[in-house]
Amino acid sequence: MLAWEIVFWLSVSLLVYAQLGYPLVLAALARVPRARAAAIAPAPGEPPTVSLIVAAYDEAAVIARKVANALALDYPRDRLEVVVASDGSSDGTVQQARQAGADLVLDLPRGGKIRAQDAAVARSRGEIVAFSDANSTWEPEALRLLVGAFADPAVGYACGQVTFVSGSVGATNQEGLYWRYEMALRALESRLGSITAGNGAIYATRRESYIEVDPIMGHDLSFPFNMVKRGWRAVYVPEARAAEKMVPSLEGEFARKRRMMSHTWPIVLRGGLLSPRGYPPLYALMIASHRLLRYAAPFLHVAALVASFVLGASSTFYALALALQLALIVAALLARVVPLRPLLVARYYVLTTASVAAGLWDWLRHGTPAGWEPAEGTR
């Protein structure tokens, strides 16, 4: 029984630390006085040239609006190049992007988002290469604020803040709640050093810091830690804001995250994330806490549930622990027919946690394709 008690307490402790303890550790570290570099003012003269790249696959419904949004940004027009890289689109995306006024439109064979971005970087001319999704809308000052991060010569990567908005009445997805929590963590990580992940809606790198990665390994996770390993900082610029329509249903969010995790596990297990080489000690703690423990969550939950079941027959405490875990699962099931907010949050947590394991299963079973499809309901 002692072995099962160890399994229970270790699993629960790691889960609680990952969700609650880690934010408290970051907050405490952020309050510790430390030597800080003086704020770097933007360099005098003209701002750097920027190539804003949008990789698109069958985005005819939104690409003209995206190009118009890019051209309306508060950035000198002669310093901005808008690039659309069509990844084998067959729905008129290329024609729509050209008619909307994009400076460069690449009509590429199907090779996946990453290879489309690589091709766009190779063909573009900006000192800074910025990236956005086709369905993202940037606020007018977003690019100027994002590029401002590169006034610090140590910064190789910067991402902005994305807000997920509901595009339909009766949407059940709770991604917005989680994302506010995630952005708070990201702000603390950036303040202390570097972030552990970015987002695809709004980010940028220096041309010289751009990395060509395996086409199944997205930039969101692979760029920040690789920047740190190469001596750059990866920072979060919350003032640079973008918005995207989120998947309306929790089931759709599960499918989206499952697909994302099938791209994440190759980065974790063979893409260098696990190797501490090149990580400063604090950043290694961030990777372990914010990434590895998050990805271990479904397995820790299963371990805690099994241990509670074994121990519950002889202990009131463990029987109560088992009841609480089962109550979470029941609440997630009830949310399907009784869409109350607390039940929906429980269902969101259960499904998104399960998506981590499902993504691993998909990758191990049949690998991960480089191509991608727009998530249902996000256009």
CB 224 within 8 A of CB 198: yes
CB 245 within 8 A of CB 290: no
Q: Is a pLDDT exceeding 70 seen at residue 41?
A: no
Output the CA–CA distances (angstroms, integers) from residue 335 to 210, 273, 298, 346, in the order listed: 43, 36, 20, 8
**φ, ψ for residue 304 (rounded to 5)?**
-65, -40
What pTM did the predictor assign? 0.90
| pLDDT tens per residue across span 271-324 | 999 999 999 999 999 999 999 999 999 999 999 999 999 999 889 999 999 999
Q: What count of other Cβ atoms lies within 10 Å of the Cβ of residue 310?
A: 17
Residues 6 or more apart from 179 whose CB is under 8 A from it?
162, 163, 164
Please state, in angstroms and rounded to a whole number, the distance separating the CA atoms of residues 206 and 240: 17
Residues 6 or more apart from 357 whose CB is under 8 A from it?
298, 299
pLDDT of 42: 56
CB 263 within 8 A of CB 216: yes
Half-sphere exposure of 53 (CA within 13 A, CB side): 31
| pLDDT tens per residue across span 219-265 | 999 999 999 999 999 999 999 999 998 787 888 889 999 999 999 99
Collapsed DSSP state (helix, strand, coil) of residue 182? helix
Output the CA–CA distances (angstroms, integers) from residue 323 to 243, 313, 328, in the order listed: 39, 12, 9
| pLDDT tens per residue across span 203-228 | 999 999 999 999 999 899 999 999 99
pLDDT of 231: 96
Please state, in angstroms and rounded to a whole number, the distance separating the CA atoms of residues 2 and 314: 13
pLDDT of 176: 72
The β-bridge relationship of strands 104-108 and 137-138 is unpaired
pLDDT of 325: 97
Residue 296 burial class via C-beta count within 10 angstroms: exposed 0-12, middle 13-18, buried 19 and up:
middle
Q: Is a pLDDT exceeding 80 seen at residue 369?
A: yes
pLDDT of 239: 96
Residues paired with 130 in a beta bridge:
52, 204
For 112-139, b/e burial (b = at least 16 CB within 10 A) is: bbbbbbbbbbeebebebbbbbbbbbbbb
DSSP string covering 54-122: EEESS-TTTHHHHHHHHHTSSS-GGGEEEEEEEES--SSHHHHHHHHT-SEEEEEPS--HHHHHHHHHH
To the nearest 10°, the Cα dihedral for 365, 366, 372, 374? Answer: -50
CB 53 within 8 A of CB 85: yes
Region 194-200 average pLDDT: 95
Model confidence at 269, pLDDT cuts 50, 70, 90, reads: very high
Tell me the domains of the chain and their CATH numbers: 50-248 (3.90.550.10)
Please state, in angstroms and rounded to a whole number, the distance separating the CA atoms of residues 222 and 213: 8
| pLDDT tens per residue across span 45-96 | 789 999 999 999 999 999 999 999 999 999 999 999 999 999 999 999 999 9
Q: Is a pLDDT exceeding 60 seen at residue 340?
A: yes
Q: What is the mean pLDDT of the chain?
A: 92
